[in-house]
Amino acid sequence: MLAMNFRGPYRVRAAHKPDPCIEHPDDAVVRVLRSCICGSDLHLYHGLVPDTRIGTTFGHEFVGEVVDIGPGVRRLKKGDRVLVPFNIFCGSCFFCRRELFGNCHDTNPEATAVGGIYGYSHTAGGYDGGQAQLVRVPRADVGPTLIPPQMDLDDAVLLTDALPTGYQAAEMGDISEGDTVVVFGAGPIGIFAAKCAWLFGAGRVIVVDHIEERLEFVHRYAQCEVLNFRGVHDMAITIKRMTDGLGADVCIDAVGCEASGSFLQRLTGVKMKLQAGAATALHWAINSVRKGGNISIVGVYGPTFNAVPIGNAVNKGLTLRMNQASVKRHLPRLIEHIEAGHIEPRRIITHRIPLEEVADAYHLFSNKLDGCIKTVLIPPG
């Protein structure tokens, strides 16, 4: 089969690999109909996630058709069309019983933090991902969900990660009625976080980024205010000025670690030893939220940090919540919102690119060229 293949930082290509097969009685094999590139894939692409091995296939956002099942699979059959949450989880361990599917203990027993994730390095279990023609789906009775018959595949693929993550970002913000919510990042996750903040009762939503096309899009799509951080001298002062001098009630980090540490270096004047992986948005979030406010972090951080203003967070009495999204937990509610027309996820898709051109697709999405917001890869056949 044809699959995306990691060759080293900033180097990916489409290459032939052996077809995946049933390795365990609970496995299925899925023929991929659509997969996406996620901002999380960029951390792998930029070489920021430990133990990302050469030859790995990325891709944790995919939908497809079941083409094979192991003898233990009960709830799926060949021909079913499924959306597959990015978390690989057992459904019954200590963490899954608490619906912390992103922290499943059984699918990545060697890690202390994260559960299994498709195509997300050996840190997340070493599973191959869905930027391919075929993918092995472990625990096939647990994660995969039948795509409702009327649902567009483009909406379905955004239910595997981006929309539930944006929703959980808003949920973890513990928004009270009328709150001002500032979202850092106008990528797919920030866009959906802004959209969902209204569902939790926000009174005002402001999205911060520096890419004008993305800000224009989120302004229309989520009916929010926007702030371009280019030209902003001091983020905390700017946000305070916009919020009666107090600061935001809730700040959401939908950025994560950066490929370049130059922003933070400029901000702090400290020459960073670590050139990649700064945490500017988190820094801004902590400094821009009001005392006693809430910070929700869904941005992903590969490296460790020592430049986060944690002392400010303590002194201000902030509540910080963060996690990998627990995709399956949010699906019933989000499917209802899509069916009722409250959310149209597929509007964020700007590019459809054949899997054969995966190298160009990563380059485009990493550099945010050509107005790119969300890129879908279409496998041949």
Q: Give the residues lining the site for ligand NAD (CB under 6 A).
A: 38-40, 42-43, 161, 165, 184-190, 208-211, 214, 229, 254-256, 258, 263, 280-281, 298-300, 324-325
Q: Phi and psi (nearest 5°) for 212?
A: -60, -40
- Reduced to 3 states, what is the DSSP secondary structure of residue 272? coil
Tell me the closest approach of the beta carbon of residue 24 to ligand NAD, in angstroms: 25
Q: Which is nearer to ligand NAD, 101 or 198 (CB)?
A: 101
- Cα angle for residues 349, 352, 353 (degrees, 5° grid): 145
Dist. CA 76–CA 142, nearest whole Å = 10
Dist. CA 128–CA 55, nearest whole Å = 10
Dist. CA 311–CA 374, nearest whole Å = 36
Residue 296's nearest CA partner among 160, 158, 181 is 181
Query: Rule CB under 5 A: is residue 40 a binding residue for Zn ion?
Result: yes
Residue 89's nearest CA partner among 110, 75, 108, 61 is 108
Dist. CA 346–CA 333, nearest whole Å = 17
Query: Tokens in use for 13?
Result: 């290509």
- Amino acid, res. 27: D
Tell me the closest approach of the beta carbon of residue 250 to ligand NAD, in angstroms: 15
What, of ligand NAD, Zn ion, none, does residue 184 touch, CB below 5 to 8 Å by kind?
Answer: ligand NAD
Tell me the closest approach of the beta carbon of residue 18 to ligand NAD, in angstroms: 29
Which residue among 26, 27, 161, 253 contacts Zn ion (CB under 5 A)? 161
- 160 to 93, 100, 138, 156, 210: CA distances (angstroms): 21, 16, 15, 7, 27
What, of Zn ion, ligand NAD, none, does residue 349 touch, CB below 5 to 8 Å by kind?
Answer: none
Query: Rule CB under 5 A: is residue 38 a binding residue for Zn ion?
Result: yes
Residue 120's nearest CA partner among 104, 112, 109, 108 is 108
Q: Which is nearer to ligand NAD, 70 or 187 (CB)?
A: 187
Q: Which is nearer to ligand NAD, 86 or 198 (CB)?
A: 86
Tell me the closest approach of the beta carbon of residue 70 to ligand NAD, in angstroms: 27
Tell me the closest approach of the beta carbon of residue 269 to ligand NAD, in angstroms: 17
What, of Zn ion, ligand NAD, none, does residue 210 touch, CB below 5 to 8 Å by kind?
Answer: ligand NAD
Query: Rule CB under 5 A: is residue 377 a binding residue for Zn ion?
Result: no
Tell me the closest approach of the beta carbon of residue 282 to ligand NAD, in angstroms: 9
What, of ligand NAD, Zn ion, none, does residue 208 touch, CB below 5 to 8 Å by kind?
Answer: ligand NAD
51 dihedral zone (left: phi>0; alpha: psi -120 to 50; beta):
left
Dist. CA 173–CA 302, nearest whole Å = 22
Tell me the closest approach of the beta carbon of residue 327 to Zn ion, in angstroms: 10
Q: Which is nearer to ligand NAD, 66 or 83 (CB)?
A: 83
What, of ligand NAD, Zn ion, none, does residue 267 touch, CB below 5 to 8 Å by kind?
Answer: none
**Cα torsion 175, 143, 30, 64: sign:** negative
What, of Zn ion, ligand NAD, none, does residue 325 touch, CB below 5 to 8 Å by kind?
Answer: ligand NAD
What, of ligand NAD, Zn ion, none, does residue 254 touch, CB below 5 to 8 Å by kind?
Answer: ligand NAD
- Amino acid, res. 11: R
Contacting positions for Zn ion (CB under 5 A) = 38, 40, 161
